[in-house]
Protein backbone atom coordinates (compact mmCIF):
# COMPACT_ATOMS: atom_id res chain seq x y z
CA UNK A 1 0.00 0.00 0.00
CA UNK A 2 1.36 3.38 -0.98
CA UNK A 3 1.73 6.23 1.47
CA UNK A 4 -0.21 9.47 0.96
CA UNK A 5 2.97 11.28 -0.04
CA UNK A 6 3.72 8.69 -2.72
CA UNK A 7 0.18 8.95 -4.07
CA UNK A 8 0.49 12.73 -4.23
CA UNK A 9 3.32 12.47 -6.73
CA UNK A 10 2.06 9.45 -8.66
CA UNK A 11 -1.41 10.94 -9.22
CA UNK A 12 -0.06 14.00 -11.05
CA UNK A 13 -0.10 14.11 -14.84
CA UNK A 14 2.99 14.61 -16.95
CA UNK A 15 4.87 16.88 -17.34
CA UNK A 16 4.09 18.20 -13.82
CA UNK A 17 4.70 14.76 -12.36
CA UNK A 18 8.22 14.56 -13.79
CA UNK A 19 9.11 18.02 -12.50
CA UNK A 20 7.84 17.23 -9.00
CA UNK A 21 9.57 13.84 -8.92
CA UNK A 22 12.86 15.48 -9.89
CA UNK A 23 12.47 18.03 -7.07
CA UNK A 24 11.46 15.25 -4.68
CA UNK A 25 14.86 13.63 -5.22
CA UNK A 26 16.86 16.84 -5.51
CA UNK A 27 15.76 18.58 -2.30
CA UNK A 28 16.71 15.84 0.22
CA UNK A 29 19.94 15.29 -1.72
CA UNK A 30 20.87 18.93 -1.23
CA UNK A 31 21.75 18.38 2.44
CA UNK A 32 21.85 15.23 4.59
CA UNK A 33 19.74 16.95 7.26
CA UNK A 34 16.76 17.47 4.92
CA UNK A 35 14.03 14.85 5.26
CA UNK A 36 10.70 14.36 3.53
CA UNK A 37 7.42 14.48 5.48
CA UNK A 38 3.69 14.60 4.80
CA UNK A 39 2.23 17.68 6.54
CA UNK A 40 -0.95 19.63 5.90
CA UNK A 41 -1.79 17.29 3.02
CA UNK A 42 1.34 18.15 1.06
CA UNK A 43 4.96 17.04 0.70
CA UNK A 44 7.12 19.03 3.11
CA UNK A 45 10.85 18.94 3.56
CA UNK A 46 12.27 19.48 7.02
CA UNK A 47 15.72 20.58 8.04
CA UNK A 48 16.72 18.92 11.32
CA UNK A 49 13.03 18.29 12.01
CA UNK A 50 11.83 21.86 11.34
CA UNK A 51 9.72 22.78 8.32
CA UNK A 52 11.96 24.05 5.55
CA UNK A 53 10.15 23.94 2.19
CA UNK A 54 7.32 22.20 0.36
CA UNK A 55 6.13 21.26 -3.12
CA UNK A 56 2.75 22.09 -4.58
CA UNK A 57 0.93 22.87 -7.83
CA UNK A 58 -0.58 26.32 -8.42
CA UNK A 59 -4.35 26.06 -8.83
CA UNK A 60 -4.54 28.85 -11.45
CA UNK A 61 -1.49 28.20 -13.62
CA UNK A 62 -1.17 24.47 -12.89
CA UNK A 63 2.59 25.01 -12.60
CA UNK A 64 4.52 23.11 -9.94
CA UNK A 65 6.24 25.28 -7.38
CA UNK A 66 8.64 25.18 -4.48
CA UNK A 67 7.51 27.01 -1.35
CA UNK A 68 10.15 28.25 1.06
CA UNK A 69 9.29 28.52 4.75
CA UNK A 70 10.45 31.93 6.01
CA UNK A 71 10.95 32.95 2.39
CA UNK A 72 9.92 36.43 3.49
CA UNK A 73 13.45 36.73 4.91
CA UNK A 74 15.09 35.88 1.57
CA UNK A 75 15.72 38.37 -1.20
CA UNK A 76 15.84 36.55 -4.53
CA UNK A 77 14.33 37.96 -7.74
CA UNK A 78 12.54 34.71 -8.67
CA UNK A 79 10.88 34.21 -5.28
CA UNK A 80 7.40 35.69 -5.10
CA UNK A 81 5.34 36.43 -2.00
CA UNK A 82 1.80 36.88 -3.37
CA UNK A 83 -0.66 37.00 -0.47
CA UNK A 84 1.40 34.92 1.91
CA UNK A 85 2.78 36.30 5.16
CA UNK A 86 5.75 34.00 5.64
CA UNK A 87 6.27 31.88 2.53
CA UNK A 88 7.71 32.75 -0.85
CA UNK A 89 7.50 30.51 -3.88
CA UNK A 90 9.24 29.86 -7.15
CA UNK A 91 7.11 28.45 -9.96
CA UNK A 92 8.43 26.14 -12.64
CA UNK A 93 7.36 25.60 -16.22
CA UNK A 94 6.97 21.83 -16.27
CA UNK A 95 7.76 21.79 -20.00
CA UNK A 96 11.23 23.19 -19.30
CA UNK A 97 14.15 21.76 -17.38
CA UNK A 98 14.19 22.71 -13.70
CA UNK A 99 16.69 25.55 -13.25
CA UNK A 100 18.94 23.52 -10.97
CA UNK A 101 21.44 26.30 -10.26
CA UNK A 102 18.62 28.64 -9.22
CA UNK A 103 17.02 26.02 -6.98
CA UNK A 104 20.42 25.27 -5.45
CA UNK A 105 20.97 29.00 -4.80
CA UNK A 106 17.54 29.45 -3.18
CA UNK A 107 17.89 26.32 -1.04
CA UNK A 108 21.32 27.56 0.05
CA UNK A 109 19.85 30.90 1.08
CA UNK A 110 17.05 29.14 2.97
CA UNK A 111 19.54 26.85 4.75
CA UNK A 112 21.60 29.86 5.78
CA UNK A 113 18.55 31.05 7.77
CA UNK A 114 18.44 27.75 9.64
CA UNK A 115 22.11 27.53 10.55
pLDDT at 101 over 90: yes
Topology, domain 4-114: 3.90.1150
pLDDT in tens, 13-33: 999 999 999 999 999 999 999
Q: 91 falls in which pLDDT band (50, 70, 90)?
A: very high
- Judged by DSSP in three states, 30 sits in helix
Cβ 24 vs Cβ 55: under 8 Å = yes
- Concatenating the DSSP letter of every residue in 31-61 gives -TTEEEEEETTEEEEEETTEEEEEEEE-TTT
pLDDT at 115 over 90: no
- Angle of helix 16-30 relative to helix 100-114, nearest 10 degrees, comes to 40
Amino acid sequence: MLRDIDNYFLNKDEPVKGCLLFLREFIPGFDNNITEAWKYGMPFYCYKGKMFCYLWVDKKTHNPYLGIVDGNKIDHPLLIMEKRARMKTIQFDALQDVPVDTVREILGMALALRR
